[in-house]
Structure 1
Amino acid sequence: MRLKRFLLRYYPPGIILEFDKAGLLRTKSIDLLDLTLEYVLCLLHMQYPLCILSVYRFSRQLSYALFMSFLQELKAHILPLTNVAFDKSGSRFLTGSYDRTCRIWDTASGTELHTLEGHRNVVYAIAFNNPFGDKIATGSFDKTCKLWCAETGKCFYTFRGHMAEIVCLAFNPQSTHVATGSMDATAKLWDVATGWEVATLAGHTAEVLSLCFNSVGSQLVTGSFDHTVIIWDVASGRRVYTLMGHQAEISNVQFNWDCSLIVTGSMDKTGKVWDASNGNCVATLVGHKEEVLDVCFDLRGQLIATASADGTARVFSASTHQCLTTLEGHEGEISKICFSPQGSRVLTASSDKTARLWDVQSGVCLQVLEGHTDEIFSCAFNYEGDTIITGSKDNTCRIWC
């Protein structure tokens, strides 16, 4: 056997080995998120068999002792925050606010790097152009989206054209376009290089509250208060499929990593899983007693998490659609949920003023992140999964590591 090429895969992170075996070209794909401690130690054992037992014992003891510790509270804004977001490396993060500004922060020191000023109303939607991290987009209730330099805080362009508040936005993976969703029932595509409008995606009959590009940037999915979800072809701006089946407003939409599935959450108390290739509903995720306020895939696309106004969250198998565990403990509605990059933890944010960290397999609450004095509406892991930020209506954000 002879190795021919060693390839790196960005998303989901992995490596691909091309090798010659008996005259045939073969490939081996290794998902880096699947690399467990035991697997790595097994590889080390091949080289260092005598010390592996002590290394194993020490690392296991260390892993049991690791919890998120409160690092710093940032009095980020003079009015409540709206959203928080990390850059790719996790070295910087953003906060948006009702005070009409977005701020860029250094994660390690908690130092404010730049204040992005210019919007005339609430800054509601914010994002870095990950994985590059050199640009920022902000969407506002003033009906505009602004594109900024992440290094200097300079505004490159102001995207004008929506007739109502902008409430969601996203960069495509190539960072060539920004998509914005608005209360005017449309989404728009904007060219990052020129600042021009590329397309208006008209088809919904009510507010567009959520949108997401697939991982190759060829399609965009939008969710609306009209109870429907639409898949759009980005190149042409044409509607591909309309996903109908929910009985109430859509709260969130997301593609899985290989672009094959879409998950949606709805005020009808359910989530749904859709085949992205034909627009068919393949499963309905049931069990919540109140509205489903957020949904997400893990990075491998194998698990789905749902968060509800009933104060619980659930983890489902993306393949069997069975509920694997129910996360119970919050005393208020859960508005935000996300997986750690490794997929072994779930983070939830609640109106009960706490965030919680959960074990995916057992459903056990590992830690309660306390200290905020008002509702926590946003939370996020950094890419390594060792730092968390939480944003609250108490005008502060907190860094945990």
Structure 2
Amino acid sequence: MKLKRFLLRYYPPGIILEYEKEGLLKTKSMDLLDLTPECVNELLGEIRRSEPLVTESRADQVKQLILRLQQKQGQKDHLCGFIKSFSVFFVFLKSYVSLFVVFLSRFITGSYDRTCRVWDTASGTDVHTLEGHRNVVYAIAFNNPYGDKIATGSFDKTCKLWCAETGKCFHTFCGHRAEIVCLAFNPQSTLVATGSMDATARLWDVETGEEAATLTGHTAEILSLCFNTVGNQLVTGSFDHTVAIWDVASGRRVHILTGHRGEISNVQFNWDCSLIVTGSMDKTCKLWEAVSGKCVATLVGHTEEVLDVCFDLRGQLIATASADGTAKVFSSTTHQCLVTLQGHDGEISKICFSPQGSRILTAGSDKTARLWDVQSGVCLQVLEGHSDEIFSCVFNYEGDTVITGSKDNTCRIWY
């Protein structure tokens, strides 16, 4: 193996090694989730002992990278006391906006007009229109962190793979017998997973366009799915009240997670692949061990359905959004509710952490999105201007831009 270069990842903090093995260029990630000023030499020593690619001649270079990561995290701590005020910069008045995913300087929207569009975030211009589906484009994704491919899932029962730069369609994945409602790329960008109302999930080979596996076992629609950050497992959540963990290589179901008494609204792995969080229409969230499939905690407190749930990038916090009009932040270690976010007048359908983890963004049926301080639960800003329910919201990579999508057929960019 020959080390080619180091790449920094700020959120969550880590160093990516790019190396050559048997003529192939590969990468591996070193997660540095608990950076403190006094841990540099100790952390460098641990890296040297566990990673043979980091030789003595590379030690000083790695130390400088660790210091740069610490500096970035220090900027986050400094900004925690500063309230950034977001103002709307662009409004897209289109009759098709349904949802979006951001990748660096671009974002994409899927639509009831049967298209997916690629937008430039800085200028607000329409870069590409991806046409070819015969029904609603409901599920979309970039192949982060590469950002050179887009997957679209449609009610026409197909998934399409596109070139993000040219808009060319590489493949059309056919095989589902009902609408595709969720999809995801694996971290290596070699597979696309699709979940369907036909109660199956399927894995598709990005290079060949062939089906790699059909994952069967659920008895009702699959509404959510997620790869872990290693890419060796996939988790699916279903209307049959269960969650399944799958081995990606074999397509075998490893665990069935039972205990919820309602439909599963969302599923997500934490960053180190040790935990899975699930939200349900039974008004609870559950926390599961990924290895054993054991339920380690039930997070309670909401009085109506839990519509969305997510980890922060460090995996230390869990945020929940509910039809009761509140959001909550839980500790993933103590399982206690740390703060309740109150202010929306109506259900909250979407919630996400900023990349730094110090802010939370929520989207509500009251036509507003709201920015919250994670520690205090104080609402820092109400983003107003939409004329109908906001169903989607997201931060950009740096956390200094917000995008909201609404049933009023507009998408707004806030700086």
Fold in common (TM above 0.5): yes
Q: Which residue of the partner structure matches residue 13 of structure 2?
A: 13
Contact 1:228 1:250 in 2 (8 A): yes
Counterpart among 86, 100, 116 of residue 84 in structure 1? 100
Q: Which residue of the partner structure matches residue 89 of structure 2?
A: 71
Counterpart among 189, 207, 211 of residue 203 in structure 2? 189
Q: Which residue of the partner structure matches residue 143 of structure 1?
A: 157
Matches within 5 A, 1:283-294: 283-294=297-308
Residues 180-237 of structure 1 deviation map (CA, whole Å, 9 limit, x = unaligned): 0000000000000011000000010000000000001000000000000000000000
Q: Which residue of the partner structure matches residue 237 of structure 1?
A: 251
**One-letter amino acid matched to 1:283:** A
TM-score w.r.t. the length of structure 1 is 0.88
Q: Which residue of the partner structure matches residue 98 of structure 1?
A: 112
Matches within 5 A, 1:265-344: 265-344=279-358
Contact 1:215 1:257 in 2 (8 A): yes
**One-letter amino acid matched to 1:85:** V
Q: Which residue of the partner structure matches residue 217 of structure 2?
A: 203
User: Does 134-143 or 29-38 show the bigger shift?
Assistant: 29-38
Deviation at 1:25, TM superposition (A): 5.5
CA distance in 1, matches of 2:142, 2:284: 30
Deviation at 1:97, TM superposition (A): 1.0
Q: Secondary structure at the match of 1:371?
A: coil
Contact 1:33 1:342 in 2 (8 A): no
Deviation at 1:63, TM superposition (A): 6.2
Q: Which residue of the partner structure matches residue 74 of structure 2?
A: 36
Deviation at 1:67, TM superposition (A): 1.2
User: Does 257-266 or 65-74 show the bigger shift?
Assistant: 65-74
Contact 1:14 1:32 in 2 (8 A): no
Deviation at 1:69, TM superposition (A): 1.4
Deviation at 1:389, TM superposition (A): 0.5
Deviation at 1:66, TM superposition (A): 2.5
CA distance in 1, matches of 2:235, 2:141: 17
Contact 2:12 2:355 in 1 (8 A): no
Change (3 A) 1:19 1:153: same
Residues 233-268 of structure 1 deviation map (CA, whole Å, 9 limit, x = unaligned): 000000000000000100000000000000000000
CA distance in 2, matches of 1:344, 1:71: 23
CA distance in 1, matches of 2:396, 2:44: 40
CA distance in 2, matches of 1:115, 1:37: 38
Could you tell me which runs of 5 or more consecutive residues in structure 2 were left unpaired when the two chains were aligned: 16-31, 33-39, 51-62
Q: Which has the higher contact order (CA 8 A, sep 6+)?
A: 1
CA distance in 1, matches of 2:260, 2:90: 41
Deviation at 1:83, TM superposition (A): 1.1
RMSD over aligned Cα, in angstroms? 2.4
CA distance in 1, matches of 2:309, 2:223: 13
Deviation at 1:7, TM superposition (A): 5.8
CA distance in 2, matches of 1:365, 1:78: 31
Could you tell me which runs of 5 or more consecutive residues in structure 1 were left unpaired when the two chains were aligned: 1-5, 40-58
Identity %: 75
Contact 2:225 2:236 in 1 (8 A): yes
How many aligned residue pairs are there? 372
Q: Which residue of the partner structure matches residue 21 of structure 2?
A: none
**One-letter amino acid matched to 2:288:** W
CA distance in 1, matches of 2:76, 2:119: 36
Deviation at 1:145, TM superposition (A): 0.4
Residues 297-326 of structure 1 deviation map (CA, whole Å, 9 limit, x = unaligned): 000000000000000000000110100000
CA distance in 1, matches of 2:214, 2:342: 42
Q: Which residue of the partner structure matches residue 42 of structure 1?
A: none
CA distance in 2, matches of 1:245, 1:376: 31
Counterpart among 357, 370, 373 of residue 384 in structure 2? 370
Deviation at 1:38, TM superposition (A): 8.7
Deviation at 1:274, TM superposition (A): 0.2
Deviation at 1:14, TM superposition (A): 2.4
Change (3 A) 1:211 1:33: farther
